[in-house]
Structure 1
Amino acid sequence: MPTTVLSAFLTFTMITAFTPGPNNILAFSAGNQYGLKKCSPIIAGICTGFLCVMALCGMAVVSASAVSEHVIKWMRYIGSIYILWLAWKVAFPAHQVSTESSIYPGFIRGFVLQFINIKIIIYGLTAFSGFIIPYYNSSIAISAFVIILSIVGCSGVIAWTVAGFALQKILQKHPAVINSVMGIMLVACAISIII
């Protein structure tokens, strides 16, 4: 990969990984509401799902059977509905935190989000089709880039989680306002996906 392309690839992946999106907003909210330990299942779900989606994107681009516009259109609608549901859960959380394994920040919720999160699907398809496949096509290289893209993406999620936790004392003085802002940001993500 030429240096100019590598520079563009790194810029693209870092900006996409660290800017607000469904994963980062959900991670920030979970870190803020539950702390690092209790939100670790949803973060693990996000990161595991992210890895799976990157692998699927790599396979889709390599096999040249890229996802059709029709499928992407429906994924946008389904993803937007799910993100709106998450926005509701973030804006109006249950006030009692249960100690059961089925509490809000669960692994499955984070994992499922990845398969309808059009931001990371487009991230993966763009990275593979625009930056990786023109220069590398061996299965080892593709696997390495799946891991690299996942590490970069998950580092953004972890950074947002830590920020939510670090600001917990400040932000929990006004939880209704913070939860509402996070919910509104998720609603904005959902709207931006369908328009």
Structure 2
Amino acid sequence: MNFVFFLLYCSLMIITPGPTNIMILTTVHNYGVKKAFEFSIGALFAFFVLLSISVIFNSILMNYLPNIIVVLQIIGAIYMLYLAYQIFKINNTSKKENQFSSFKTGFLMQFVNPKPVLFTLTVFPSFILPYYTSFGYLTLFVLLITIIACLAFLSWILFGKVLKSFLDRYNKLVNNIMAIFLIICAIAISGIFN
């Protein structure tokens, strides 16, 4: 196994902008680091669960992958549009605690977001299972990938914190841009243009 390429693949797939990372940035901007951390912990825990499920059921799920992808695309697109609407309607004077920046939302979002689902389904058969099959090694890889995800989510929180004054100054514009990014993600994952 080319370990450098594996690490590069994991890092780039997890840290690149996607619905989860956009939600982390939006949550830092609108509700602060504490809520973003809570959301990220939920997303990270779900990511760990997805990785674990992928290791255990990879061969079974691969047989049904086309059906799972279609369902996830539809559910994921609808959920992303809902989150975009929630972000779009936030205004600067009424920033109150919102349920969409919670542990539960971070957790559930990972299961309807095709990016982490497809990543967890492909990383093991592509990089790990051809070389390592023992429970110990597979557990180590689950933990390693989870650590990479943790670092990626923390970097998005830090990015949001560092740019907070800028984001506050252009609050409505930033929220609208984040909502548009989520709408673009929804369209991309819906499969409309495939």
TM-score (normalised: structure 2): 0.90
Aligned to 2:176: 180
> Between Structure 1 and Structure 2, which shows a larger proportion of helix residues?
2
The answer to whether the 8 A contact 1:17-1:155 is kept is no
Q: Which deviates more, 183-192 or 20-29?
A: 183-192
Tell me how far apart the structure 1 counterparts of residues 83 and 54 of structure 2 sit (CA, whole Å). 24
Task: Give SS of 1:68's match.
Answer: helix
Of 29, 32, 35, the match for 2:29: 32
Aligned to 2:39: 42
The answer to whether the 8 A contact 1:33-1:168 is kept is no
Shift of 1:68: 2.4
Shift of 1:103: 4.1
Post-superposition CA distance 1:132-154 (Å, at most 9, x none): 10011111111111111111122
The answer to whether residue 191 in structure 2 is matched with residue 163 in structure 1 is no
Shift of 1:7: 2.1
Post-superposition CA distance 1:150-169 (Å, at most 9, x none): 11122212211211121111
The answer to whether residue 52 in structure 2 is matched with residue 55 in structure 1 is yes
Shift of 1:59: 1.4
Tell me how far apart the structure 1 counterparts of residues 157 and 87 of structure 2 sit (CA, whole Å). 14
Post-superposition CA distance 1:101-147 (Å, at most 9, x none): x6441111110001111100111111101001001111111111111
Q: Percent identity?
A: 30
Alignment size in residue pairs: 189
Tell me how far apart the structure 1 counterparts of residues 10 and 128 of structure 2 sit (CA, whole Å). 12
What is the alpha-carbon root mean square deviation over aligned residues?
1.7
Structure 2: 5+ residue stretches without partners? none
Aligned to 2:86: 89
Tell me how far apart the structure 1 counterparts of residues 45 and 13 of structure 2 sit (CA, whole Å). 18
TM-score (normalised: structure 1): 0.90
Tell me how far apart the structure 2 counterparts of residues 65 and 110 of structure 1 sit (CA, whole Å). 23
Of 91, 103, 107, the match for 1:111: 107
Of 19, 26, 31, the match for 1:22: 19
Tell me how far apart the structure 2 counterparts of residues 98 and 176 of structure 1 sit (CA, whole Å). 15
Tell me how far apart the structure 2 counterparts of residues 179 and 17 of structure 1 sit (CA, whole Å). 22
